[in-house]
Amino acid sequence: MKSKLNIHFATKAIHVGQEPEQITGAVTVPLFQTSTYAQIEIGKHTGFEYARTQNPTRFAWEENIAALENGIAAYAFGSGLAAEDAVMKLLSAGDHVVCAEDMYGGTYRLFEKIYRRFGLTFSYVDMTNSGEVQKAMQSNTKMVYSESPTNPMMRLTDLTAVADIAHNHHALFVVDNTFATPYFQQPITLGADIVLHSATKYLGGHSDLISGIVITNNEDISAQLKFIQNATGAVPGAFDCWLLLRSVKTLALRMQQHERNALSIANSIENHKNVLAIHYPGLSSHSQHELAKRQMSGFGGIISIELGSYQNAQQFVKNLEIFTLAESLGGVESLICHPVSMTHGSIPKEQREKLGITDGLVRLSCGIEDTEDLINDVLNALDY
Residues contributing to the site for ligand PLP (CB under 6 A): 79-81, 104, 106-107, 147, 151, 176, 178, 198, 200-201, 210, 212
CA distance 34 to 42: 20
Least distance from ligand PLP to the Cβ atom of residue 115, Å = 15
* Identity of the residue, 199 or 382, whose beta carbon is nearer to ligand PLP in the bound complex: 199
User: How many other C-beta atoms lie within 10 A of the C-beta of residue 5?
Assistant: 7
Least distance from ligand PLP to the Cβ atom of residue 45, Å = 33
For this structure, is 260 an active site residue? Answer: no
Catalytic residue among 12, 142, 201, 254: 201
3-state SS string for 122-151: EEEECCCCHHHHHHHCCCCEEEEEEECCCC
Closest CA to 77 of 179, 212, 199: 212
* Identity of the residue, 17 or 80, whose beta carbon is nearer to ligand PLP in the bound complex: 80
Least distance from ligand PLP to the Cβ atom of residue 213, Å = 10
Least distance from ligand PLP to the Cβ atom of residue 184, Å = 14
Catalytic residue among 37, 52, 109, 260: 52
Catalytic residue among 104, 115, 145, 202: 104
For this structure, is 352 an active site residue? Answer: no
Least distance from ligand PLP to the Cβ atom of residue 209, Å = 9
Closest CA to 8 of 185, 244, 252, 177: 252
Paired strand residues for 145: 99, 174
Catalytic residue among 176, 193, 359, 377: 176
* Identity of the residue, 109 or 249, whose beta carbon is nearer to ligand PLP in the bound complex: 109
User: Starting from the edge strand earliest in sequence, which strands make up the sheet with 212-216, in order?
Assistant: 73-77, 212-216, 194-198, 172-176, 141-147, 96-100, 121-125
User: How many other C-beta atoms lie within 10 A of the C-beta of residue 283?
Assistant: 17
- Which residue's C-beta sits nearest to ligand PLP? 80
* Identity of the residue, 137 or 248, whose beta carbon is nearer to ligand PLP in the bound complex: 248
- Determine whether 381 is exposed, middle or buried from the number of CB atoms within 10 Å of its CB (0-12, 13-18, 19+): buried
For this structure, is 246 an active site residue? Answer: no
CA distance 139 to 344: 31
For this structure, is 201 an active site residue? Answer: yes
DSSP structure class, residue 266? H
* Identity of the residue, 146 or 288, whose beta carbon is nearer to ligand PLP in the bound complex: 146
Which residues are known to be catalytic? 52, 104, 176, 201
